[in-house]
Chain A
Amino acid sequence: MLAVSDKQRQSAVALGVLALSVGLGWGAIDISSEAGYAGIGPNFLPWLVAVGLAVVGVILLAEAHSGGFRNMPDPLAPDAPPVSAPCWSGFVWMSGALLLNAALITRIGFILSCALCFACAAHGLRQAQSGARQGLRSWLVDGAIGLLITAPVYWMFTKFLAISLPGLTQSGWL
């Protein structure tokens, strides 16, 4: 038997699949059907995928409402990977780290922005591990390690591989 919340979660996933199907179908209306010799045009595969997603989505929804998705990995199996209770605060820290990085990378440069991302993500992961509050010291250590990784990476990719990454200054070193 499934807990109510599991059923709701699986239904939400199934509805997401159906929503994608509707989106694709809606977009497919505007694609020309000009087929040439082939008999099928640029709109064939979009419709096929939309219909396929609809069918799969309906089956998933039916499964969710009749005992849950089939053949799921058994969480109680002896070799199953351990899963602990979700740590949402850690998740928020990591999400923040990634989105902050996206917002700052062109402003403060790759090195500083990614070091900040590293520190925030590491903070989140540590919180997930111990749940304990962490002091200023661990922040400083993470920030320093972050800089020790990002700076050489920046130099290696921009100098040796000529991949352009944003800098804070025009010097090419920071």
Chain B
Amino acid sequence: MSRQRRSSQPGPGAGARGARGVRRSPFGIGPQPVPAAGQPAPAATLVLDALGKKCPIPIIMLADKIGEVPVGQIVEVLADDPAAKTDLPAWCALKSQEFVGAAPLPAGWSFLVRRSY
């Protein structure tokens, strides 16, 4: 996953605008931390490709594999199911893992999760 692509993404709230111009719900979890423009995004130790997979598969893949990276390291999940946008941060909150940020891909999103324990 190229670092350049992620670092050029817009800031928090970029995904909060609905397709039809109405501002959609702000997801209730506050602005998601996204690496500031110009700063390199944290590098992922493991990339999980869940593109084309429906929820809860991306979450199951993350739960299965997060133990494979050392504590403090980052797993990147690529997913395009609309539910992933809510469910990845919600899973992190439930499991006390750190949700680092999300960035749009041409189709879907890249989610960064840091293993906290």
A and B, one complex?
Answer: no
User: Residues of B at under 8 Å CB distance from A?
Assistant: none
